[in-house]
Chain A
């Protein structure tokens, strides 16, 4: 492993669904310790980018490098075992399983004792400790979001991928979830976050990328992107 290499690098990635060319030559980098946000309109390929990084879909060409390793042809299991984790779009909790079981699934690949990390998650989300035996499908949207975050943290990730973590939350909960994300980030986890709330996302991010129809159309420091009027009009619709 190479200390100079970024934590994650995509190089000219092209991903297809069947014949449809979704990601059209994506290149991006995340350095260790960074919080990077990925913006873009609906169907621009944000979720597909995360799935490509995680190995749920395999690119037809280009490479995905993680910690200096070419993982393009490695399984999702391998990548998660080496430090990736995801809060998926729509959370995707295991509804008929308890909160605790959902958290355990997040730690699926760990062979060591994870009780300490479980306590950390309960400390971050005290409510989950009370609800640990409740079925995940019966939780409110905000509570489910906490489980999704907690579940991803159970693997002690180096790189946390988040796909619209604030989707469907009331404004006050959106603020809370951003605070949690910052706490996790400060604790040393590198983060790649897809967000609809562009302004909020850029306000906590180091860097940002903007996708439109499968291409990166803008990239740079978060502060610079936030000030870019053209960006707001053209790609974020606000």
Chain B
């Protein structure tokens, strides 16, 4: 029981981060029909920005500000860095190709991904960094969950992600700009015919998706400790899988897919072996797509009327 709960918490932690990342893939795909290959790198830069802020503030062992303030500043740094990179990607790698063939922006995305990885290698070297989070927030701090205790950092990650997802969901469904995002995603030209500034809406989507990825990057650094310049590749692949599993273009789908992949990974690692992790995750994807080709919560291509 204890072990099961422990794995559940692991899965939820990991799944929350995948979900945050998957949202970015899903929203960008929804609005541009583009797989933003460089999204994993946006997340990686967020992690490094958070680490950089932590270092500036004295590092985990010699912090010069209160812990809560350090966390806030780390997340802010990540949001700033990631959204700046995301918006730059849109502006320079994707927008110039918007009128061209569908494959051109995808190739540009792959190129941008390599470019950002190489830039990170030059800036940060190939050495990994560690957050040393237990020195910030004691490992035995936390809240009881049945027979186990959940480390405060994990609580923070799960609760923050959940709150962010609810806020995003409300934003997309209740606010004017959120509704414009849905309108542009469905029919860009019709949205323009309503006076919606399509370029602006696309920028907002990149801004939000990238900010969420940056937050995810800091979360991973906090929970799992190590960050490195190619961390975005595998995480990006998993999060993209989560987005497809949940139904690409669907926001609740990205959340569900992220949590499912996180849980599947945690249980495979816990009960079978980490060797089988990817086998199970991608096996799950294949099974779901065979049964529901548009993903769990995705709608089959709605005919434009």
Q: Which residues of A contact B (CB under 8 A)?
A: 54, 56, 75-77, 80-81, 86, 88, 90-97, 101, 104-106, 108-109, 137, 144, 151, 155
Task: Known pairs A56-B189, A95-B186, A151-B194; list 8 more (Cβ under 8 Å).
Answer: A77-B195, A92-B304, A95-B305, A97-B183, A105-B179, A105-B183, A105-B194, A108-B195
Q: Which residues of B contact A (CB under 8 A)?
A: 176, 179-180, 182-183, 186-187, 189-197, 299, 302-305
Q: How far is the CB of A200 from chain B (nearest CB, A)?
A: 24
Q: How far is the CB of A103 from chain B (nearest CB, A)?
A: 10
Of B186, B194, B196, which one neighbours A96 at CB under 8 angstroms? Answer: B186
Tell me if B183 and A94 are in contact (CB < 8 A). yes
Q: Which residues of B contact A54 (CB under 8 A)?
A: 193
Number of A-B contacts defined by CB within 8 Å: 71
Q: Which residues of B contact A96 (CB under 8 A)?
A: 182, 186, 299, 302
Q: Which residues of A contact B183 (CB under 8 A)?
A: 94, 97, 105
Q: Which residue of A lies closest to B249 (CB)?
A: A96
Q: Which residues of A contact B190 (CB under 8 A)?
A: 88, 92-94
Of A75, A81, A92, A95, which one neighbours B302 at CB under 8 angstroms? Answer: A95
Tell me if B305 and A81 are in contact (CB < 8 A). no
In the assembled complex, 9 residue pairs joining A and B whose CB atoms fall closer than 8 Å, in A order, are A56-B189, A94-B183, A95-B303, A96-B182, A108-B176, A108-B194, A108-B196, A109-B195, A137-B305
Q: Which residue of A lies closest to B177 (CB)?
A: A108
Q: Which residue of A lies closest to B196 (CB)?
A: A108
Q: In whole angstroms, what is the CA distance A137 to B192 when docked?
A: 19
Q: Which residues of B contact A144 (CB under 8 A)?
A: 305
Q: Which residues of A contact B189 (CB under 8 A)?
A: 56, 92
Tell me if B194 and A106 are in contact (CB < 8 A). yes
Q: In whole angstroms, what is the CA distance A97 to B178 when docked?
A: 12
Q: Which residues of A contact B197 (CB under 8 A)?
A: 75, 77
